Structure 1
Amino acid sequence: MQGLQFTKMHSVGNDFVVIYWDKDEPDWSSLSKKLTDRNFGIGADGLIIILPSNTADYRMRMFNPDGTEDMCANGLRCSARVFAELKDVNKALFRVETIAGIKEVEIIDRRDWIVKANLGEPSLKSEDIPVPLGFSPIVDYPLVVKDKIFNATILSTGTPHSVIFYGDLSDDVFERYSPLIENHSLFQCRTSVIWVTEECPDELKIRIWERGVGETLGCGTGACAAVVAKVLKDDKKTSYNVTSKGGTLYVEWKDKKDLHLSGKVEKVYEGII
């Protein structure tokens, strides 16, 4: 496929190749493996496809570097900027069809490109995540991984996450155990792993291992999962700044119902491949 126009986007370093497409769909899974390769392709954490929709303003599909399709909150917010600029649309609120249902995305500030996404309610039931445990919510579940036991809070924010509060996280523990947890037999669809390394009154600091990707600088659904896990553990407040290696996002779990994620989305460059 030649002459393919794309936009390189990121939010807190979580970067994407974004393509608008209104023709018959090719094999995006195979294309994602090529385009996201950081040595032989453009390089990205994922491929975002913007498509026409019969039920929303547009449809968004996201593919991981391993070719699997997934939900992505930062990609969702990035797609709203690309769509608004491409279509020269002045409206601020968009309804977007995703693999996890229709989500609302709002452009808060066009100068700094602050975009907020309503991701809906997190899934806390074991059968919805899915994991074969039969109880919910799953808070501090003793997950046995080789020679260690990690207390994992397991949920889905459109994609499965295991949140582990682990203040003294070394590179060795992160790099050795994150892929083992991702592919643990408990998780029927694998899991992303969110390590909460520091808890402050208004901020959580995280390190991220995304399923199908590996370590990333940021993860929107993961930031939301960290806040949900924090609330389930101590129930003191429902909004936090969440800081990862790439920067800070703001998460609100309003009335313990819908999750709202906001932060900057940035255009890196446009190109043709």
Structure 2
Amino acid sequence: MKYFVVDAFAEKIFEGNPAGVCVMKDWLSDDLMQKIAIENNLSETAFAVREGAHYRLRWFTPGGEINLCGHATLATAFVIMNYYKKELSSVQFDTMGGLLTVNRIGDLYELDFPAVPSKEYPVTEQIIEALGVTPIEAFINRDLILVLESEEAVINANPDFVKLEKLPDGLGVCITAKGTEYDFVSRGFFPKLKVNEDPVTGSLHCSLLPYWAKRLDKKEMTAKQVSKRGGTLYCKHEDTRVKMAGKAALYSIADLYLE
């Protein structure tokens, strides 16, 4: 079976977020897909099968299947449009997170995702101790969103991942602040999924965009996830939808030998 690794939200390889991609004729068992994700040891491995007019898409982390993933969706669209269906400029995916669309616009791949609302959340001593810095605001959706005072605080944060994993709420933990060169910056941590820091996380921006659109009074923004690899997202907030565009770079094509 063909297996691709694509760096998503990347200008060139070794930037952005690497995702494994398998485009298949038929589904593998859940157990086998999980084992492949563990063996790959990337933050996500995406599996796609053509079903009618759309592709069905599923995402597996080393710690289990998840309901929404941006960078692996971009990577899968990149693979389909460049190696399977070169005539396509748009791909739709049926997923656990709903119907998702990726449009190719020049050398950018634009994700059309649902906006994710957040509720206010108390800044607890457990959060402060795990993060090593005191957030000025906190919100909860699928993930815990922590707003810090400055871009510098986001870049310099050195959380305790063991303590982050023990936080009672939030699948992941995101820290964010207003940017200097970019409209806002962020980092994302997912120790509960065996991924301490995710390089670039499209799904986090489904809730970051509504927050920063309101705070900055802007509909179009450029975001930077300031992980070690780093990644740039060109974003639009459109009421109940968010659009996130980025480039992608192919790192490898391999064969998986599965019994």
Q: 1:209 aligns with which of 189, 206, 210?
A: 189
Aligned to 2:224: 243
Q: In structure 1, what is the equivalent of residue 13 of structure 2?
A: none
TM-score of the pair, normalised by structure 2: 0.80
Q: Deviations over 1:20-48 (max 9, x none)?
A: 12224222122211122xxxxxxx22111
* Cα 1:241/1:266, change in 2 over 3 Å: same
Task: Provide structure 1 residue ranges, at least 5 long, that are not aligned to the other structure.
Answer: 37-43, 125-136
Residue aligning to 2:12: none
Find the aligned partners of 2:249 and 2:221 in 1 and give their Cα distance: 22
Whether 2:133 is the aligned partner of 1:154: answer no
In structure 1, what is the equivalent of residue 173 of structure 2? 193
Q: Which has the higher contact order (CA 8 A, sep 6+)?
A: 2
**8 Å CA contact 2:112, 2:244 repeated in 1:** yes
Number of equivalenced pairs: 238
Alpha-carbon deviation of 1:170?
Answer: 7.4
Indicate the SS of the match to 1:25: coil
The SS at the match of 1:141 is coil
Residue 181 of structure 1 contacts residue 191 of structure 1 at CA under 8 Å; is this kept in 2?
A: no
Distance of aligned partners of 1:180 and 1:225 in 2 relative to their CA distance in 1, 3 Å threshold:
farther
Match of 1:165 among 125, 129, 148: 148
* 1:178-204 deviations in Å (ceiling 9; x for gaps): 55345421x2xx422221244348521
For 2:23 and 2:165, the matched residues in 1 are separated by 31
Counterpart amino acid of 2:125?
A: V
- In structure 2, do the counterparts of structure 1 residues 95 and 116 end up closer, same or farther at CA, with 3 Å as the change threshold? same
1:119 corresponds in structure 2 to 113
User: Quick one: structure 1 residues 23 and 120, their matched pair in 2 at CA, closer, same or farther if it must change by over 3 Å?
Assistant: same
Identity over aligned residues, as a percent?
A: 14
The aligned counterpart of 1:229 is: 211
1:136-179 CA distance string (max 9 Å, x none):
x32x63233166454444354xx534232242537885321x55
Letter paired with 2:212: K
Deviation digits for residues 204-252 of structure 1 (CA, Å, limit 9, x no counterpart): 12222135111122111223433322234x2522322111232211111
| Contact 1:153-1:229 within 8 A present in 2 as well | no
Q: Which of 36, 43, 46 is equivalent to 2:44?
A: 46
| CA deviation profile, 1:99-124 (whole Å, cap 9, x unmatched) | 10111111112xx3x10011023233
Q: Which residue of 2 aligns with 1:272?
A: 255
> Structure 2 vs 1, CA of residues 93 and 239 (structure 1 numbering), >3 Å: closer, same or farther?
same
